[in-house]
Amino acid sequence: MVRAVIFDMDGVLIDTEKHYNIAWCEAAKQAGYTDFTREHALMLRSCDARAASKMMKGIFGEQFDYFAIREIRRTIVAKRLAKYGLEKKPGIDEILAFLHKKGIKTAVATATPLELTLQHLEKIGVKDQFDKIVSAKQVENGKPAPDVYLYACEQIGEQPKDCIAVEDSPNGIRSAYAAGCMPVMVPDLTEPDEELKPLLYAVVKTLADIQGIIGKE
């Protein structure tokens, strides 16, 4: 029985991953890494900073300063969001209304810092619709480790096995799966590959489609 639904934010609730992808590429090129591609940026989605730094050093060498490049990326993303604004992902209002009507708890578990998360959710008018909002910055290890989902479950008082975790990225899916949640993917920039598919409870096109999963429980 589904007792709670825990949402990732970027790429799930708000359409920001496209900006992060472009910004990572621009930031890396500014730092001199002209061979940094969209595929490299995709690897960094929702990834723990320490793990991401190690991964990029393994690809580009020990001189790759992930944290300095991330600061450039943050500046680029902020400028892009100021220019283009925050866009809700399709189905967000429908699924939240459905879950509230059913009495199913809701939470957010994101890799984004908590203060920025609250700002973004406030801007799209949904901040007060979640029982709990947590960030990977509040736990020891970020995604793909299970920590943030375990923490979210603890905060809402539910067992992971009774919680759907809604994600768009491989790192997020692995985090939810490792925590023991039911990972549901809403593909954003990429579709699930053969390695990811066995970890998934379901794949849906939009957030509103999650209603069909819960309706079958």
| pLDDT tens digit sequence for 1-55 | 999 999 999 999 999 999 999 999 999 999 999 999 999 999 999 999 999 999 9
pLDDT confidence of 216, banded at 50, 70, 90?
Answer: low
Q: What is the pTM of this model?
A: 0.94
Distance separating alpha carbons of residues 1 and 190, to the nearest angstrom: 29
Where is 184: in which H helix or E strand? strand 182-185
Give the class (CATH, top level) of 4-15+87-215: alpha beta
Is the Cβ–Cβ distance between 129 and 104 less than 8 Å? no
Residues 112, 120: Cα–Cα separation, whole Å: 10
Among 89, 83, 80, 63, which residue's Cα sits nearest to residue 26?
80
pLDDT digits (tens, 9 = 90+) for 160-206: 999 999 999 999 999 999 999 999 999 999 999 999 999 999 999 99
The shares of helix, strand and coil residues in the chain, as percent rounded to the nearest 5, are 50, 15, 35
In the chain, alpha helices (H): 17-30, 38-43, 49-60, 66-84, 92-102, 114-123, 147-156, 170-179, 210-215
End-to-end CA distance of the chain: 6
